[in-house]
Amino acid sequence: MKWMSKTFTFVVIPDANQSVQQFRLPIMILIVVPAIIALLAVSAIVFFSLYSKHSSFNNDLQAQLSASAAKYEQQLTEKEGSIADLQTDLVQLSEQAETMERKMAEINELEAELKQIVGINPDSSPASSSKIVVEEGGQGGQELPLPDGASDSLASEAMKQYSSIGERLEAMKPNLEETKQAVLDYQKMLNVTPTIWPADSRKVTSLFGIRQDPFTGRATYHNGVDIGGRTGDPVYAAAEGVIILSEKDGTLGNNVMINHGRGIRTRYSHLSKRLADVGDKVTKGQLIGEMGSTGRSTGPHLHYEVIVNGGHVNPIPYIKADREEP
């Protein structure tokens, strides 16, 4: 290692008028200084390379962050739109629930009316709603965002309304079944109750009760009503029943009697023709004969009687409606 302690002498010769200058440098310095310079150069190259890579990485990261931010902003916008749509749907659901509430109230009222018609006392009369009914028409006002918590409140209210509707529908089912059965029973009773005109004519020529006899002129009791018409006019069964009499009598002429059950019977007299026989089952409004003037009669007419539990009653209060065309 002795050579490292040696020195190099550098001689600087200026122009002829100046003295020669000598510099002595150890070999160590001549080796270390270039090494340091080379190391610095390599370090600079490495630093520049790392800086370039870091800058490129930062640029890529910045681009990715920008893309992610744009994507998240788009997603946020879409979610805000979805939230707005959901809020609108909630409002519509709430309005639909209110509409269903009103429809159910109408059904309850209709059920109560049906029960009254068929003679069932409803458990409780439908209370008249004090709520304001929203109908179609002009609308306006400033568009303002929903307050905080409004969506949750709407959702909760809609859920309560639909839950309440479901429970009420379940509760209404047995009531409607009961009402349906009552209506069927009432319809059945109505079918066997003489409530329609037994003829097409509405010309009443003699009422029920005391009257002047058309033959003798004396006061007599008339146990039915006389309906005027023409010979051959149709005569109909006033209610559903079974023919229990179909005969020709000297006073009543051709006459037919129907048993409607529940102690109610009807008789149709002075017919020109009988179109039903004993044992026949007839429906309400069915043709059973033709109007005439047989027996003790002054002209074509139908003598119509209503008999309840063996006694004659005035037929007029029973006649409620016209015959329905089949």
SS3 299: coil
For residues 133 and 221, the model is more confident at: 221
- C-alpha angle 82/83/89, rounded to 5°? 90
Confirm if 175 and 203 have CB atoms less than 8 A apart: no
For residues 249 and 136, the model is more confident at: 249
- CB under 8 Å to 259, separation ≥6 — which residues? 241, 242, 244, 265
CB-neighbour burial class of residue 120 (10 A; exposed 0-12, middle 13-18, buried 19+):
middle
pLDDT tens track for 7-27: 767 676 776 676 777 767 676
- Where residue 239 falls among pLDDT bands split at 50, 70, 90? very high
Q: Is residue 227 pLDDT above 80, yes or no?
A: yes
Least reliable range by pLDDT among 42-46, 110-114, 164-168: 164-168
- Where residue 57 falls among pLDDT bands split at 50, 70, 90? confident
Query: What is the per-residue pLDDT for 44?
Result: 83
Distance between terminal CA atoms of the chain? 138
Q: Locate the domains of the chain by residue range.
A: 2-80, 204-318
The two tokens of residue 62 are 């910045």
Query: What is the per-residue pLDDT for 153?
Result: 64
Query: What is the per-residue pLDDT for 125?
Result: 43
The CATH T-level fold of domain 204-318 is: Glucose Permease (Domain IIA) (2.70.70)
- CB under 8 Å to 44, separation ≥6 — which residues? none
Query: Average pLDDT of 127-148?
Result: 52
